[in-house]
Structure 1
Amino acid sequence: MPAEARPRLAVIEVTRFRPHAPEYHAYVDTLNSRVRALAEVTGWEATRFAAADLGEAALLQLTDGADAIALMGGEDLAPEWYGGESGYRREGRHYEEADAAQLALVHRALDRGTPLLGVCRGHQLLNVALGGTLVQHLDGDTVHLNAGAPVEELMQHHTVDLDEGSRIHALLGSTVGVRSAHHQAIGRLATGVRVVGLASDGVVEAVEHESAPVTGVQWHPEDRGAPAGQLLSLLDGLSEQVRLAA
């Protein structure tokens, strides 16, 4: 990569079209827009790609030159990818084509050593890509979702304890305030992945790959209510990993 070139960040989302859920789509679009916008003003050449709309072959082709990947939130992964069953509580629409495309992207990133940050769904997808499973529904009142609230109020605030010595600890510190809106979580941990962050109820909130520059966070650093500088710190971490890989 030429010295004057900006690093290329591929921001990967599920879809750019949700006519059946306009309010949810508008909110997700706002979150993904904030990632791209902040990346652009902090030195990245950032582009958004919608996995379901492109399909696996096109997504892999269009992101072939990406220096780093941000794998964003969205709908639940289809249960077939991790040996689960349909019919669980709060099950919604699945986008199997997006799942397949994003899983292929994760595998390629691992093969190439491409720095990757997974957010919410992206964090869960990292674990599934490597053979792990998901908890399909977090029962009862949890700190992870304001269930039943309007879309704009689904986020809950809570804290996460990060492991000393982890890459994410170096970026964010020991205990961080986070914004979450999820009803699923990592179940059986995949081979090659280690837990580096836990919520007070034991839910896995952050993971890192043991050898590749791959990190997942269950929360939403791109939410407007997230602590100031949190998303920037994570993007700076990706940038540093790109620099080290150059």
Structure 2
Amino acid sequence: MSAARSLAVVEVTRFRAHDPAYHDYVQVLIGRTIARAEELGWQVDRVAAADLGPASLLAQTDSADAVVIMGGEDIAPEFYGGRAGYEGESAHFPSADEGQVALVLRALERGTPLLGICRGHQIINVALGGTIIQHLGDATVHKNHGAPIAEIMSSHGVELVPGSAVSDLLGAERVQVQSAHHQAIDTLGEGLVVAGRTPEGEIEAIEHTQAPIVGVQWHPEDPGAPAGQLAALLSSLERVPAGVRVAA
């Protein structure tokens, strides 16, 4: 891969005065993603969707060869037909939602490789008409509820669909992951198939049947994630999946 290839790493916002501890942890995750991408030869442009607005976000990422949409706050319910006031509801950044949805649709149209992580995985689904489970409850494997932010990640297993792009990338049909989310994909968006689930059945990985678009609900960029997992998933940005994948 040429060192000149450009990667847009897209976050929600660079400003979270309302929650500095969470913001600091997000910076660790984004920083690790950028560092690993640069090690792999990408020229990285870090972009904050809410700070730019949809039009400027699309303009700034127009020449990107690939895109990563990072984790962050809940997607505003109006983007998937949900209701406000649900349990565990976080701050919303509708401008970021709008811009990131537009990024997914443009990537689909152009065939631009795109990886979604946590919120980014959900944005892919919402952009293509899917819906979100608004709260998984507090007694789940997906998040250490009530823990300090540095201990919020939960470790659990994910069963990958044999022959899926995600399974091929990670070289396994079962992986251990780091998660910190209270929402999950419900109905799938158009053109998407399931690439991984928890043993309990929640959707943890998706991919598009035709376009080079992959999403994972977990955080391969977390310091506690298995070695090599982030690099393996970033390699999805260097290839176009061949053929149609089979849903779980």
Q: Spell out, residue by residue over 1:108-151, the C-alpha distance to the aligned partner (whole angstroms, 9 max, x if none).
A: 00000000000000001111101110000002411000001011
Q: Could you state the TM-score of these two structures normalised by the residue count of structure 2? A: 0.94
The 5 A counterparts of 1:98-177 are 98-172=96-170, 173-177=172-176
Structure 2 counterpart of 1:206: 205
Q: Is 1:186 aligned with 2:185?
A: yes
Are the equivalent residues in 1 in contact too, given 2:211–2:240 (CA < 8 A)? no
Q: Quickly say closer, same or farther: Cα 1:164–1:4, change in 2 above 3 A.
A: closer
Structure 1 residue 240 displacement after superposition: 3.1
Q: Is 1:36 aligned with 2:44?
A: no
Letter in 1 for 2:227: A
Structure 1 counterpart of 2:244: none
SS at match of 1:211: coil
Structure 2 counterpart of 1:68: 66
CA distance in 1, matches of 2:228, 2:121: 20
SS at match of 1:216: strand
Q: Spell out, residue by residue over 1:124-183, the C-alpha distance to the aligned partner (whole angstroms, 9 max, x if none).
A: 111110111000000241100000101111100001011111111111111000000000
After TM superposition, the runs of 4+ consecutive aligned structure 1 residues lying more than 6 A away are none
Q: Could you state the TM-score of these two structures normalised by the residue count of structure 1? A: 0.95
Matched residue count: 240
Are the equivalent residues in 1 in contact too, given 2:7–2:66 (CA < 8 A)? yes
Q: Quickly say closer, same or farther: Cα 1:84–1:5, change in 2 above 3 A.
A: same
Q: Spell out, residue by residue over 1:32-83, the C-alpha distance to the aligned partner (whole angstroms, 9 max, x if none).
A: 0110111111111011100000111111011011010000000000000000
Structure 1 counterpart of 2:214: 215
Q: Quickly say closer, same or farther: Cα 1:41–1:132, change in 2 above 3 A.
A: same
Letter in 2 for 1:7: R
Structure 2: stretches of 5+ with no match in the other structure:
242-248
Q: What percent identity do the matched residue pairs reach?
A: 57
Letter in 2 for 1:183: H
Letter in 2 for 1:102: Q
CA distance in 1, matches of 2:102, 2:2: 30
